[in-house]
Structure 1
Amino acid sequence: MNYPDTYYSRTIVDRTERPALSGPAECDTVVIGGGLAGLTTALQLARGGQKVVVLEAQSIGFGASGRNGGFVSAGFATDVEHIARIGGAERAHQLYLMSIEGVEFVRETIAALGIAGADPIDGVTSVMRYDDGAGLKAYAAEARKKYGQELTYLDTASVRQSLRSTRYFHGVRDGKAFHIHPLNYLRGIAAEIERLGGVICENSRALSTDLAGAKKQVRTENGAVTARSVVFSTGGYTDHLNPQLRRAMLPIATYVMVSEEAPDLIASAITTRDGIGDNRRAGDYYRLVDDGRRLLWGGRITTRAASTAGLVQELRREMTGTYPQLRDLKTELAWSGLMAYARHLMPQIGEMQPGVWHCTAFGGHGLNTTAIGGKVVAEAILKQSDRHTLFAPFGLAWAGGIAGLTVAQLTYWKLQAQDWWRERAA
């Protein structure tokens, strides 16, 4: 793909290239996967004094980890009520508080490491595409009461003042949520891991493992790492290296596009720097990037490989259906990435066997949960806490294979139809 000189493309051109693993290496923990979860785990382990090696099959942040929408906000891919039905009300409460902690972890990491290129912008607004202001006010009040979140309710006039679309009725703004350039964030974490003595090997796909003994071994094409602990954080690109993990996740593709530089045209529709997401299942999310000169727009999911060009046309229909004034706004760059989803829609975090950990299935959760997932796995390895056990009810249940993908796609279409009907019945 050709990358014009814009947004992610400049980061791709400027990236540090790291050599592949060559020969034997020894460390305390080897992390397989150089995405959000893997690098956060490695960072916390390195901060705790461990010698860490990260094996990445491609390059740091490859796929959805480095090329997602960049939203950092509390919550999970499913609601608290669903979490409580599986794990109980108190566990659901603690997990939601942990998701808030994940937001602050990302913010503090950017500040502590001085990751200027992460470009954090405060504010994420969730907008409603049907008329239920009372329900949204009640939601904001409940979040304040239960979790201490300061959510600001926005009436229709307020929403449409900054989002000039008749599609939206009400909104709720989280001023402590924010959005960032995720690939630059990851690059900053990687640099800190290396400063602390960690080793990151790109183009180093893990091909086989020996996990039976006290010392584990992970082999690549040209080398092998021996360690006391192994962390699998391979996300949507999980292959058959770990069959138990592979059968427990569904690879789901998501799609993002970035517009040409057209600040005046974009401002005719959108006048806020907040990240925006609507209330539909797998709905639209978007934000201004490059100091407001371009628009990043994401959404849509598919359970099988699809033409990025074709999906971009669907994204453009969503964008122009919401903002007809943007019909002449050209798309300059588009891409897709694979996310990992579990059947229960929660992250899969825990110890598979002594010394073998997994930290994956963060599809639809945002950057906060990958951060907290990596943090609690590192805490467990360092024997600092057992907070990872909060995720115990959300285990490695079989995701259904090909049948699971079919069911997921059918469910997505059903939810889309329900959204369509609800909006028109309101």
Structure 2
Amino acid sequence: MSYPNTYYKQTIADTKVRPALSGAVECDTVIIGGGLAGLTTALQLTRAGQTVVVLEAESVGFGASGRNGGFVSPGFATGSDNIARMAGTEAARQIHRLSIEGVEFVRETIEALKIEGARPQTGITSVLRYDDGEGLKAHADEMRRVYGYELDYLSTDEVRSVLKSKRYFHALRDPKAFHMHPLNYLRGLAQEIERLGGRIYEGSAVTGSALDSPEKTVSTSGGCARARNVVFTTGGYTGSLDGRLKRSFLPIATYVMLSEEAPELIRTAILTTDAIGDNRRAGDYYRLVEGGIGDNRRAGDSYRLVEGGKRLLWGGRITTRAASPATLAGELRREMVGTYPQLKDLKTELAWSGLMSYARHLMPQIGEMQAGVWHCTAFGGHGLNTTAVGGKLVAEGILRQSDRYKLFKPFGLVWAGGYAGLAVAQLTYWKLQAQDWWRERAA
């Protein structure tokens, strides 16, 4: 199946097409969903010697896993205070350490598998759009004291020396975080899973399942897979596949645009290779990307990518109903130009969207629904680190290596509110935007 037209599709390093499931297959574990969570789980299980089948409705990384901003940094969609309120202070600290572990897992996997197409770039900077340097310093001190995690404080002058915008004040730079090409990373995971004997079937949407007996069956239009364990990792694209999962999260669309190739113009605004995210609860994120559309060069059976950082990838905005990416790109452009007036002539070349899954409590949903039936979903826009650790925890649970997945028990499959929940989510987003606007206006 073909990918949606994104920057990542245009710069893909592996173009392998995988077959659809045909006939009956047997394995230890069948994983439904070929995104970040599913492939990480499959990788860990195949490394441990299990036989694994991955069923993907479209192509590996077709959903939000292969379309996102590419930021890999610790943390979740909700803050540490909320996590502590729901799980307790010590559990909240353990959970945050897991998110740090997820970042390291992705980095180590790229290095171990030599996924050159992922092209990790060190450094993510979080900027404030109002004046509160003391608050940022206090947060950096807490991270150092509690987790031994170093964040670099940047003054307003230091921020504006590399980000030429009057909207920005102070910042924290995370030198351990990084940004990357997520789709190439996923394709690299898929190659390793197959090298280890795992089987990945694309164009194989699951149409039914029988999960109550020790041997479980998952069916597609072309065949079925039988296994002792089933893992659901379908995220925002779950649909009606499983009623418990469908009721427990909201599919939320987010939007990304890619600029034309204009390195000299972009350098009048941005003089850093760090990925940038602002502090707003409804904020923007952006980064320079290397190469661009049409920059693939054939090298044997793979593609080598031209270096350069010639384009700007800018993301933000969420909607509870899918909107035209081109329409939302207009809003993203207005935000970009409002931040950097010098980029008013920078043209948008491409825009796309993807569906994320958000639980009502804004935390990942990781665990065992019933004997041998697992779920790993609802990463709320923070999936590149939390899907990695979520996949690890599910694999550890299946292999009986640990019960660390139980740390997420307080964040269960609670009802997300259906259509009413979507309406509340949209109203909440607008409220957050208004609060951000008032806070910045007072700065």
For this structure pair, what is the TM-score category when the shorter chain's length is used for normalisation? over 0.9
Q: Deviations over 1:359-413 (max 9, x none)?
A: 0001221400010000000000011100000000000000000000000000010
**Aligned match of 1:410:** 427
One-letter amino acid matched to 2:181: H
**Aligned match of 1:150:** 150
**Aligned match of 1:98:** 98
> Does structure 1 residue 344 correspond to structure 2 residue 361?
yes
Distance 1:122 1:52 in 2: 33
**Aligned match of 2:296:** none
> Does structure 1 residue 328 correspond to structure 2 residue 328?
no
User: CA 1:2/1:47 → structure 2, altered by over 3 Å: closer, same or farther?
Assistant: closer
Given candidates 408, 419, 422, the residue that maps to 1:391 is 408
State whether residues 70 and 366 of structure 1, in contact with CA within 8 Å, keep that contact through their aligned partners in structure 2: no
Distance 2:169 2:148 in 1: 25
* Runs of 5+ unmatched residues, structure 2: 291-307
State whether residues 63 and 336 of structure 1, in contact with CA within 8 Å, keep that contact through their aligned partners in structure 2: no
The offset of 1:169, in angstroms, is 0.3
User: CA 1:239/1:118 → structure 2, altered by over 3 Å: closer, same or farther?
Assistant: same
Q: Deviations over 1:157-215 (max 9, x none)?
A: 00000000000000000000000000000000000000000000000000000001100
1:293-304 matches, within 5 Å, as 293-304=310-321
State whether residues 14 and 184 of structure 2, in contact with CA within 8 Å, keep that contact through their aligned partners in structure 1: no
One-letter amino acid matched to 1:369: T
Distance 1:12 1:132 in 2: 41
Greater shift, 10-19 or 92-101, is seen at 10-19
The offset of 1:10, in angstroms, is 2.8
**Aligned match of 1:136:** 136
Q: Deviations over 1:268-325 (max 9, x none)?
A: 1001000100000130000000131111000000001111111000000000000011
**Aligned match of 1:205:** 205
State whether residues 277 and 284 of structure 2, in contact with CA within 8 Å, keep that contact through their aligned partners in structure 1: yes
State whether residues 57 and 202 of structure 2, in contact with CA within 8 Å, keep that contact through their aligned partners in structure 1: yes
Distance 1:41 1:261 in 2: 37
Distance 1:247 1:12 in 2: 34
Distance 2:253 2:97 in 1: 28
The offset of 1:333, in angstroms, is 1.4
The offset of 1:21, in angstroms, is 0.2
Distance 2:372 2:250 in 1: 25
Distance 1:187 1:363 in 2: 22
Distance 1:125 1:366 in 2: 18
> Does structure 1 residue 74 correspond to structure 2 residue 74?
yes
Distance 2:414 2:370 in 1: 16
Q: Secondary structure of 2:206's partner?
A: coil
State whether residues 124 and 179 of structure 2, in contact with CA within 8 Å, keep that contact through their aligned partners in structure 1: yes
Distance 1:56 1:9 in 2: 17
**Aligned match of 1:54:** 54
The offset of 1:218, in angstroms, is 0.2
Q: Deviations over 1:49-85 (max 9, x none)?
A: 1000000000000121001000000111111100000
One-letter amino acid matched to 1:326: L
> Does structure 1 residue 318 correspond to structure 2 residue 335?
yes
User: CA 1:3/1:41 → structure 2, altered by over 3 Å: closer, same or farther?
Assistant: closer
Given candidates 314, 331, 354, the residue that maps to 2:371 is 354
1:24-423 matches, within 5 Å, as 24-290=24-290, 291-423=308-440
Q: Deviations over 1:233-272 (max 9, x none)?
A: 0000011121001000100000001111111111110010
Distance 1:183 1:246 in 2: 25
Distance 2:366 2:4 in 1: 35
**Structure 1 ranges of 4+ moved more than 3 A:** 1-4, 11-14
Distance 1:259 1:377 in 2: 38
**Aligned match of 1:424:** 441
Distance 1:126 1:241 in 2: 37
User: CA 1:24/1:275 → structure 2, altered by over 3 Å: closer, same or farther?
Assistant: same
Distance 1:200 1:3 in 2: 20
One-letter amino acid matched to 2:221: E
State whether residues 73 and 366 of structure 1, in contact with CA within 8 Å, keep that contact through their aligned partners in structure 2: no
Distance 1:208 1:8 in 2: 31
Greater shift, 312-321 or 327-336, is seen at 327-336
Normalising by structure 1, report the TM-score.
Answer: 0.98
State whether residues 237 and 338 of structure 1, in contact with CA within 8 Å, keep that contact through their aligned partners in structure 2: yes
Distance 1:2 1:34 in 2: 13
The offset of 1:7, in angstroms, is 3.8
* Runs of 5+ unmatched residues, structure 1: none
Report the aligned-residue RMSD.
1.3
Q: Secondary structure of 2:98's partner?
A: helix
Distance 1:195 1:72 in 2: 26
Distance 2:126 2:13 in 1: 33
One-letter amino acid matched to 2:420: A
Distance 1:296 1:393 in 2: 36
Distance 2:15 2:377 in 1: 25
Distance 2:166 2:29 in 1: 53
Normalising by structure 2, report the TM-score.
Answer: 0.94
The offset of 1:149, in angstroms, is 1.0
Distance 1:140 1:364 in 2: 23
State whether residues 65 and 383 of structure 2, in contact with CA within 8 Å, keep that contact through their aligned partners in structure 1: no
State whether residues 3 and 333 of structure 1, in contact with CA within 8 Å, keep that contact through their aligned partners in structure 2: no
Q: Deviations over 1:24-57 (max 9, x none)?
A: 0000000000000000000000001100000000
